[in-house]
């Protein structure tokens, strides 16, 4: 069986945690930041986990992660 290719765009956006889940960055931190509160922008800095509905799709994109 041939080796599977990793989707490079997904490799830049997700990484595997120690518990086997995938971590991702939060959306909404790139522009139109003046109307967002400092608390909201601080919360957007933190990473979060990929939802269980998308876990299978992300794991297929990253076969060796």
Confidence of residue 53 (pLDDT cuts 50, 70, 90): very high
CB distance 59 to 22 below 8 Å: yes
Query: By residue range, what is the domain housing residue 4?
Result: 1-26+36-65
Span between the terminal Cα atoms of the chain, in Å: 19
CATH number of the domain within which 12 lies: 4.10.410.60
DSSP letter for each residue of 31-60:
S--TTS-HHHHHHHHS-EEPPHHHHHHHHH
* Within a domain: 31: no
- Residue-wise pLDDT for 8-39, tens only, equals 999 999 999 999 999 999 999 999 999 999 99
User: CA-CA distance, 30 to 21, in Å (whole number)?
Assistant: 25
User: CA-CA distance, 33 to 40, in Å (whole number)?
Assistant: 10
- What is the per-residue pLDDT for 43? 98
Q: What's the pTM value of the predicted model, to 2 decimals?
A: 0.87
Number of domains in the chain: 1
Give the tokens for residue 24.
């991702």
- What is the per-residue pLDDT for 19? 97
């Amino acid at each position: 069986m041939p080796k599977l290719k990793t989707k490079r765009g997904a490799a830049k956006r997700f990484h595997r945690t120690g518990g086997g889940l995938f971590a991702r960055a939060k959306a909404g931190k790139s522009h139109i930041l003046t109307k967002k509160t400092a608390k909201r922008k601080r919360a957007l800095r933190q990473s979060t986990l990929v939802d269980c509905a998308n876990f299978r799709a992300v794991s297929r994109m990253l076969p060796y992660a």
